[in-house]
Amino acid sequence: MQETINRLRAKKGDEGFTLIELLVVVVIIGVLVAIAVPVYLNYRKGAADKSAQSDIRGAISAIEQYYTENNNTYPPTATGNNTGATGTESITLGGATGTQKITLSDKTMLGYNLTTPATGAPYYTICAHSTGGTENRWYVYNSQVGGSVKVSAVSSASQTTC
């Protein structure tokens, strides 16, 4: 019996964590969360922006393939908007009978605008924006200039005015 009492008295000194120790741990976790959440949100915005740029590159391929298959004629102007609510969204080039499609990523708005000047060759502009990406950032490709996909200089651009 004395042995049991001695064991219980020995355990009495082992009381667990103090309130101060628990508060320090909570503060450390709070600091880590305060650092991690903005980094994660910026990562998501960057991924959405890259997705819009990728959609433009896919559109360039589809438009040029349409051009090749249709006696060097570009498809008429078209726009599309994938809100992410209905699944896959695409733009069919050349109307309902077209064979080329531009598939849009979730939450991506894309516009294809054909320009036929009085003199010179026709050219097209493709604009894309991801609503999950950086606010008011539109990406643009102009076939007359060529090169890579660029950020639009106009922050208030739309699918038809970039």
pLDDT for 58 equals 92
Could you tell me which residues come within 8 angstroms of residue 155 by beta carbon, excluding any fewer than 6 positions away?
136, 137, 138
Task: Kindly state whether residue 99 falls inside one of the protein's structural domains.
Answer: yes
Residue 31 sits in a domain whose CATH number is 3.30.700
pLDDT band at 139 (very low <50, low <70, confident <90, very high): very high
Question: Is residue 79 very low, low, confident or very high in pLDDT (cuts 50, 70, 90)?
Answer: confident
Highest mean pLDDT among 1-5, 96-100, 145-149, 154-158: 145-149
In a domain, 95, yes or no: yes
CB 69 within 8 Å of CB 150? no
The rounded Cα 135 to chain-centroid distance in angstroms is 11
Q: Flag whether pLDDT at 6 surpasses 80.
A: no
CA dihedral 125, 131, 132, 136 (to 10 degrees): 70
CA distance 140 to 110: 10
Q: Read off the pLDDT of each residue in 93-122 and give the average, rounded to a whole number.
A: 83
For residue 55, the model assigns a pLDDT of 92
Quick: pLDDT tens for 82-103.
Answer: 877 666 788 888 765 667 888 8
Q: pTM (2 decimals)? A: 0.73
Please report whether residue 162 resides in a domain. Answer: no
* Cα maximum dimension of the chain: 108
Domain that holds residue 31: 2-151
Nearest to 105 by CA among 60, 50, 146: 50
Decide if 81 is inside a domain.
yes
Structural domain includes residue 71: yes
Per-residue pLDDT at 14 exceeds 80: no
When divided into structural domains, the chain yields a total of 1
Structure confidence at residue 12 (pLDDT): 56
Asked whether residue 72 is domain-assigned, the answer is yes
**Structure-model confidence comparison of residues 115 and 1, the more confident one:** 115
Dist. CA 77–CA 143, nearest whole Å: 14
Mean pLDDT confidence for 142-161 = 80
The reply to whether 113 falls in a domain is: yes
Asked whether residue 156 is domain-assigned, the answer is: no
Contact 91, 127 (CB under 8 A): no
DSSP state letter for 125: E
DSSP state of 77: P
Q: Give phi and psi for 80, each to the nearest 5.
A: -155, 155
